[in-house]
Structure formats: C-alpha cells, structure tokens
Amino acid sequence: MDTRTVPPTGGQPSTLDEALARIRRIFAELAEGAGERDLSGEHPYELVQQLADAGFGRLRVPREYGGFDVDLQTLFALLAEAGQADSNVPQIWRGHFTTTEILRLETDPDVRRTWLRRVSEGAVFGNAQSEPSAQVAGLGPGEGWGSITTGVRRTDTGDRVVSGTKFYSTGARFADYIRAAVADGEGGRSFVVIPARHPGVVHVDDWDGIGQRQTGSGTTVFTDVPVEDHGDVGRAEDAVRGLNSFVQIVHLANLVGIVRSVVAETIDVVRSRTRTSLHALSRDATADPDVLAVIGDLHVRRRTAEALLAHAVAGLEAAHAAGTEDAYVDAYVETSAAQRGVVDAVLDAATHAFDAGGSSTVRGSVHLDRHWRNARTLASHNPVVYKPRVIGDYLVNAHGPVSGYYAGRTGRTPS
C-alpha cells in the first residue's frame, strides 16, 4: 500500500507554446527511463506531477476557464506522443481527460466552473468506477456493469461521505481528485468528486497485470471520504455524449505510440547488431534483405494504426459538430472498427519485431517485450472481441450500440 503524495513543482505556463515545450521535455525524460521502470516497478510520480505543472491537464479546458481548448486532433496527437514515451502515461491520464470532456458538457454552471478552473490550476483527476463486487456470481449478462456497492451517506453534521472499495482505479494514486462511481439509491449509479489524498483514501499497489504495470490500476479503499462541494458531476446524459468513443480513442492513441516505439527500437536493434544468422544473405544486418523487410512491415503496421486513429478522431469531431444521436452512434461504430484494426496492427508489429534480431532481443535489458505486453493489456480493456459483432449488427440490422455510460441509469446492457 502507498499513500505517497507529490507536491507541485512549478507554476503553470501562460501559453500553449510554452506548455508544449515543457510537456515534450518531460516526454523525453519519460522515454529515457520507461524500460527500466517496467522492470523495477517504479511509478513515475514526479514526472506525472511535472506534466500537471506543465499544463498537460489543461489541454481541453475552455479558454474562459484558463485552459488551452485544443481540438481533439491535437489532444490525441499528444497522447500518442506520450504513449511513445511511456505507454503508462496516457492510461494514467485517461480518467482525467474523460472528466474534462464531461465537464465541457456539464449542464450545472457552478459544477462546470468550479472544476474546470481547478483543472486549469493544475488539479489532476483519477478514476474509480469498477469494483470487485461487480463480479459476483448469479448476475445475468450486463447486470454486473451497474452493480455498485460503494455508497454515499449523510453524517450527523449533514456532510456527505463515501465508503467502498474499487479496482481498476487507474490514475487514482497520481491524482488530486477522484471521480468515483457510487450507488444512486435507485439501482443505478452516479458520480461524485472526492479528494484523492484524504486520510480515508488508501491506494493499494496490487495491480498485477502483464503490462501497463505503472498505471496504478489496483485497489482503492474509501472510508468516510467527504464529497467535495459541487461534487456531483455529469448527472445529465448530455454530459456523457460521445464518451464511449472518447475513452476508446485514448487507448488507440496509446497503441499508436507503442507501435512507433516498436519501429524505432527495432531499428536501433538492427543498427546495433554485430552479426547475423547462419542463413542470412548478408553479414551486415543493416543490409540483410529479410531483416529490412521486417522493418518495412513494421512501418506499414505503424502507418495503418496512425491512419485508423486519425479516422476515429475525425469521426468523433464530426459527431460533436452534428450533435445528434445518430452521429454519435456512427462515431462509436467507426471507433470500434478502428480499434479492431489498430489492435491487430500493433500486436502484429510487437510480435514480429523480434524477427529483426537474434535471441538477444528477448533479453529483459532490451525491453522489447514490454511493447507486446502493454499492447495486449490495452487490447483487453473494452475488449476488442465484442467489437466485430457490434459493427456487424449495426451494418446489417441498424442496431446501434448502447452506451455503457447510460446502462447503470437505464438498465440497458452496454455494447
């Protein structure tokens, strides 16, 4: 268990150009130590805090609240850069940027103003939605999605406090505030904002996934943690429109970053080789036709992933511009198609990268294996196995996928 806190390390930048320069310097530092952190299990606390201080969390905040109000194309391009540096980073920040998207559409002006201004001052949000109790036996298909035992109660003084246990609480241990899912008393769920560093919050470092090991995606325990003023976020359905696409595209941007690292690091491996194999057509790996073909194939997979990411981002931008339910359904279907293609391309690249080198490439010190493990882990979130069926059902039968963000409120099964 870890209750570590990291204080802010510097003032917020005044311009987007200044912020981007600082952010990219931090990306470079993240990249330098990513492989070793994967082996040692060290979390990038200080560097995540430095990103917050550099204005990373302000990217999508409207200018009227002190943010940079970048478009989605810019946001996801930067998340891909972050994923190339260290694929843990976009996932750590996924809950934060999801919350920012919700706040952009928040219908309560006091809630919107309070939290967007707080984010512009450097505050970071973490995630706490899933919990072990949702996996109990006897639940029908989809019923576990809305099973929330974490609750809110009133104290004798009238204050609201939250108690419960969460898992997959990605980013919570790095955050200032947590957007937590709680039972709404009517068989569904709602979301409240609570302080991440309150004494009643315990972050347990028990995430044991094969990849994405430094995302803090483990258990978080709440014991009488107070709900913040204006802490009821995203109650209106309009505040979560397009979120199913948004949260998936964060993963797609991260996967694009991973495949870029695969290509770059495999090229480095080839350039550093001092010998080739028995059947090689050249003694020089950089002139070996078979090895060069591997690099060429990796580059194709990279371009495939990048093109699909751009397609998904453009679809979500178009849905926001149209503002119709049909447009959001189209965006989600196209995002699902992009997910299938990106996952296949990146996993293929991460597997075949080893063909460009000898047995030395499987050594832990080379760090090449982490890319497959991280990509495989990301592909298991919002599992890609369901998406071809969702796409086919829409194309053949015009059955639109149901948003999981509505399921806990309406009882519908999420796609």
Least-confidence region, from 126-130, 176-180, 249-253:
126-130
H helix count then E strand count, the chain: 11, 7
In the chain, the amino acid numbered 1 is M
| Interval 18-33 mean pLDDT | 98
Find out whether 342 and 336 touch, Cβ atoms under 8 Å.
no
pLDDT at 399 over 90: yes
Alpha helices, DSSP H only, in 54-195?
A: 72-85, 88-104, 109-120
pLDDT at 278 over 60: yes
pLDDT over 90 for what percent of the chain? 78
The three-point CA angle 390-388-131 to 5° equals 65
Confidence label for 355 from pLDDT (cuts 50, 70 and 90): very high
Q: How far apart are CA 107 and CA 116, in angstroms?
A: 13
| Interval 103-124 mean pLDDT | 96
The three-point CA angle 154-155-160 to 5° equals 45
Residue 131's pLDDT is what? 86
pLDDT at 414 over 60: no
Confidence label for 412 from pLDDT (cuts 50, 70 and 90): very low
**Nearest C-alpha neighbor of 195 from the set 3, 55, 44:** 3
Per-residue pLDDT of 212-242, as tens digits, reads 999 999 999 999 999 999 999 988 776 688 9
| Interval 108-114 mean pLDDT | 97
pLDDT at 4 over 60: no
Query: What is the pLDDT of the chain when averaged over all its residues?
Result: 90
Q: How far apart are CA 249 and CA 247, in angstroms?
A: 6
Name the packing angle between helices 88-104 and 45-53 (round to 10°).
Answer: 40
pLDDT at 3 over 60: no
pLDDT at 146 over 70: no
In the chain, the amino acid numbered 201 is V
pLDDT over 70 for what percent of the chain? 90
The three-point CA angle 128-131-136 to 5° equals 165
By CB neighbour count within 10 A (0-12 exposed, 13-18 middle, 19+ buried), where does 80 fall? buried
Residue 284's pLDDT is what? 87
pLDDT at 16 over 50: yes
- Sequence-separated (6 or more) residues with CB below 8 Å from residue 48: 6, 89, 92, 93, 124, 174
Confidence label for 11 from pLDDT (cuts 50, 70 and 90): confident
Alpha helices, DSSP H only, in 273-324?
A: 289-322
| Interval 45-74 mean pLDDT | 98
- Sequence-separated (6 or more) residues with CB below 8 Å from residue 256: 80, 83, 84, 302, 305, 306, 309, 342, 346
Residue 8's pLDDT is what? 44
pLDDT at 346 over 80: yes
SS3 97: helix
End-to-end CA, the chain: 34
* Domains in the chain, CATH or no CATH each: 16-123 (1.10.540.10), 132-235 (2.40.110.10), 241-410 (1.20.140.10)
**Dihedrals φ, ψ of 216, to 5°?**
70, 30
Residue 401's pLDDT is what? 85
Least-confidence region, from 112-116, 131-135, 298-302:
131-135
Tokens of 400: 């639109």
pLDDT at 106 over 80: yes
**CB-side neighbour CA atoms (13 Å) of 310:** 6
> pTM (2 decimals)?
0.92
Residue 296's pLDDT is what? 98
Strands of 155-214 (E only): list them: 160-166, 177-183, 189-195, 201-204
Q: How far apart are CA 232 and CA 350, in angstroms?
A: 42
In the chain, the amino acid numbered 8 is P
CA distances from 78 to 13, 32, 52, 293, 370 (A): 17, 18, 14, 29, 21
pLDDT: is 153 or 358 the higher one? 153
- Sequence-separated (6 or more) residues with CB below 8 Å from residue 281: 288, 289, 290
| Interval 37-53 mean pLDDT | 97
Per-residue pLDDT of 151-183, as tens digits, reads 999 999 999 999 999 999 999 999 999 999 999
CA distances from 343 to 252, 259, 317, 339, 391 (A): 8, 10, 22, 6, 16
Residue 345's pLDDT is what? 98
pLDDT at 138 over 70: no
pLDDT at 406 over 70: no
pLDDT at 407 over 70: no
Q: How far apart are CA 342 and CA 246, in angstroms?
A: 15
Neighbouring-strand partners of residue 153: 161
- Sequence-separated (6 or more) residues with CB below 8 Å from residue 9: 46, 49, 50, 53
pLDDT: is 409 or 46 the higher one? 46
Residues in the chain: 415
pLDDT at 303 over 50: yes
Tokens of 287: 């002139």
